[in-house]
Amino acid sequence: MYSSLIHLELGALMLFVVFSLITAGKAAKLIYSKTEKQLNIKTRKLVFWSVCLSLLASVITGADAVLAATAHPLFWLDRLFVRTPLAVMPVLLIWFYSIPRLRKLLHRTNGRTELAPDVARRRQASDPAFIVPFQLSALCSTALFYFAFVPPIPFQWTAITIPITTLLFFACLLWMLQTRRNQLAAEAPLVYRPWRRRLTHSGVLLALLAVGSIPFLTALESSKLPERLSMMTGKADYGIAHAPSNGIALAGHHHAAVSNQPSTETAPVSVKELTGPLTGEPDRRFALTAEHKSVTLDSGEQIEAWTYNGQMPGPELRMRKGELVEVILHNKDIEDGVTLHWHGLDVPNAEDGVAGATQDAVMAGETYTYRFIAEQAGTFWYHSHQNSKTAVQKGLFGALIVEPPDASADQFEDITVITHIWEGAGMSIGDKRGIQPKKIAPGTTVKLRLIHTDDWVRQSYVLTGASFKVTAIDGTDLTGPSELHDQSLELLTGGRYDITFIMPDSPVFLRVGNGNSLGILMSKDGNGEAPIRRKTTTFDPTHYGTAATTAPFDLNSKFDREFKMVLDNRFAFFNGGFAAYDTINGEVFPNTPMFIVKEGDLVKTTIVNRSSVEHPMHLHGHHMLVLSRNNEPVTGSLWWSDTLDVAPGDSYEVAFRADNPGIWMDHCHNLVHAAAGMTMHLMYEGVVSPYEVGTATPNHPE
């Protein structure tokens, strides 16, 4: 419903802009009527345009009222207190001031024919109280247009001061100009000279553009990313009820431009020190070489890929929970540089693999070693976090599976389903296209590990031919999962589901996408026909599974920090460009907020998506416990997520314990959005980083 509402409101707003400009122009030109008959006809037409404006204002107001009644205040505060008044106020002025005068003018010109308007009619047709409300509608619609595409997020009265002051200035100016025209109309009939009017309007427009170009070009230049930028600098948000180390309590959200200097009471801790075990023989050792490779899919398409070990995707890395893992990364010839980020696996900060935040990019010819203990069992994946948008698109990723310590006791068919769109080839499962046959004996427990890696695609997975259970989300097991059937599982970039089922005698088909051309056909002999797909509903984890007897925290817990994360789209400046960007709290990097926490804090974040596209929000180094979705508490199994699917109109309350010190990225994992500035950081007090991003550094994490 949310998408329909905002598109309805936006459509009405655009029509309101067009109609108000037309109406203002027609009202202003009434004074140029050559006869009273012509004046009467033109005046009647204003009634039609007034009704149109009223209907459009009603649609805008109605959409905002529905949002206010059904959605989180972060969705509608600016709409209700700024945009609704801007739509309603000029319409009310038209009906209370213009329409009564319009009716008098109609009455006094009714029945007249070719007589020129006398002084009284000219004064009526140019009365400021009659004309200015129509002109004000055009002015307010311009402000509406501005606030629709540059919303004041998060809503603060100070953010609207300049635009509203400018609006009032031009409103006063219009009144003065119309008063002067009214006086001139009393002296003699005014002659309409289109060329002079167009010349005047063009001159005013050029003057406004010339004046406006100065701050525009200044903002354009200042938005360019600097040659060097520390990840410790930016707008710090300490959350609600924070007491800094000096003991001064801060009420509400506190923002400041800071460099994250630690308290004088403790020595700073560098990201470099927050490593995994530096000594000891690893239980698992992997070697990955990043290199250019021409890879041929099973369908025959040839892909010029960036690969790990010449494979596309990279080799699946399997380990067991509790094992010490060592991964040696060698960059053979990727000129842009590479890293390894363990998506969803909560490793020490120095092992997180983010260029410019936790390490420098590994450039061509260089080698880097990661060491960590695999603390969680589940389904994860790894990818480069240097130029990650391009790197993942071209193939620098692979599956990462952490098995339980006693995995040998588990007897099941374990199938990893990692989906990706290869440039020039389309959607694939790994490096395979089409339908893959799989021979599985009846009675076998089958686990499918679903991993989605693509930007922009809301990938659907439908299992037909058997009931199944969703046993894990984002690498964390669910408690008491129940049997499902005719359910579509949907994932955004970076998300994972584990599902299990018992293999029946008849074929089972996992469909990937909306058609029947991609998937895995499982049967007892590797042959057979795919079961017919029936109508499905989308799986919702909010009430799935059995509620835990105990939870580490819930909606009633006392939180040390509470943050708000508002996802939206607005026109903004970023790195020398001006366009519609996806934003966090109204900003793009490096002006996005840094959420500041202390180790041990219990942190709650309210996330709302005001935009018209979904955002998979990925917090590094932590798993978030989902407490509520759209004001509805989660009542099933504990739902932990590291890549949360925030659809348009969605609001979530999530929480986590700040138990992994460092500087952690928190960004949209639609990497196109992240590369365009939709990224921020979670920063622990007292942690510093020597690494930098910027044009003069090799580090470009997105």
688-700: pLDDT as tens digits: 999 999 999 999 9
Q: What is the mean pLDDT of the chain?
A: 91
Q: How confident is the model at residue 536 (pLDDT cuts 50, 70, 90)?
A: very high
The bridge status of strand 378-383 relative to strand 397-403 is antiparallel
Phi-psi region of 317 (alpha: psi -120 to 50; beta: other; left: phi over 0): beta
| Least trusted range by pLDDT, from 259-273, 391-405, 653-667 | 259-273
Q: Mind listing the pLDDT tens digit for each residue in 86-133?
A: 999 999 999 999 999 999 888 888 766 778 888 888 888 889 999 999
**pLDDT, position 416:** 98
Average pLDDT of the residues in 238-265: 49
Residue 12: enclosing H or E segment and its boundaries? helix 2-28
Residue (of 320, 269, 257, 314) closest to 291 by Cα position: 314
* Measured distance CA(207)–CA(195) in Å, rounded: 18
**pLDDT, position 249:** 32
Residue (of 523, 447, 543, 536) closest to 485 by Cα position: 536
Is the pLDDT at 246 greater than 50? The verdict is no
- Helix/strand/coil (H/E/C) assignment for every residue in 27-70: HHCHHHCCCHHHHHHHHHHHHHHHHHHHHHHHHHHHHHHHHHHH
**pLDDT, position 247:** 34
- DSSP states along 236-255: EE--SSB--TT---B-S--E
Any binding-site annotation on 343? yes
Give residues with Cβ within 8 angstroms of 203, minimum separation 6.
none
Long-range pairs for 55-62: beta carbons < 8 A, 24 or more residues apart: 56/12, 56/13, 56/15, 56/16, 56/19, 56/87, 57/16, 57/87, 57/88, 57/91, 59/8, 59/9, 59/12, 60/9, 60/12, 60/13, 60/16, 60/84, 60/87, 60/144, 61/87, 61/88
The bridge status of strand 519-523 relative to strand 508-512 is antiparallel
Residue 380: enclosing H or E segment and its boundaries? strand 378-383
**pLDDT, position 111:** 66
Q: How confident is the model at residue 251 (pLDDT cuts 50, 70, 90)?
A: very low
Which segment, 319-333, 401-415, 548-562, is predicted with the most confidence on average? 319-333
* Cα–Cα distances in angstroms (integers) from residue 540 to residues 488, 489, 639, 644, in the given order: 10, 9, 11, 13
pTM: 0.90
Q: Mind listing the pLDDT tens digit for each residue in 487-519?
A: 999 999 999 999 999 999 999 999 999 888 999
% of the chain with per-residue pLDDT over 90 = 73
**pLDDT, position 262:** 44
- DSSP states along 421-476: EETTTEEEETTB-SEEEEE--TT-EEEEEEEE--SS--EEEEEESS-BEEEEETTE
Could you tell me if 685 and 260 are in contact, meaning their C-beta atoms sit under 8 angstroms apart? yes
Any binding-site annotation on 72? no
**Which residues are registered as beta bridge partners of 381?**
343, 399
* Measured distance CA(21)–CA(271) in Å, rounded: 57
Give residues with Cβ within 8 angstroms of 442, minimum separation 6.
503, 504, 505, 524
Q: Mind listing the pLDDT tens digit for each residue in 227-241?
A: 999 988 778 999 975
Residue type for 307, please? T
**pLDDT, position 121:** 82
* Measured distance CA(177)–CA(200) in Å, rounded: 13
Collapsing DSSP to helix, strand or coil, 149 comes out as helix
* Measured distance CA(330)–CA(167) in Å, rounded: 59
Please give the structure tokens belonging to residue 316.
Answer: 């699946």
Give residues with Cβ within 8 angstroms of 552, minimum separation 6.
625, 657
Average pLDDT of the residues in 404-412: 80
Higher pLDDT, 649 or 202: 649
| Least trusted range by pLDDT, from 98-112, 224-238, 256-270, 316-330 | 256-270
Peptide bond into 154 cis (omega under 30): yes
Phi-psi region of 694 (alpha: psi -120 to 50; beta: other; left: phi over 0): left
**pLDDT, position 620:** 98
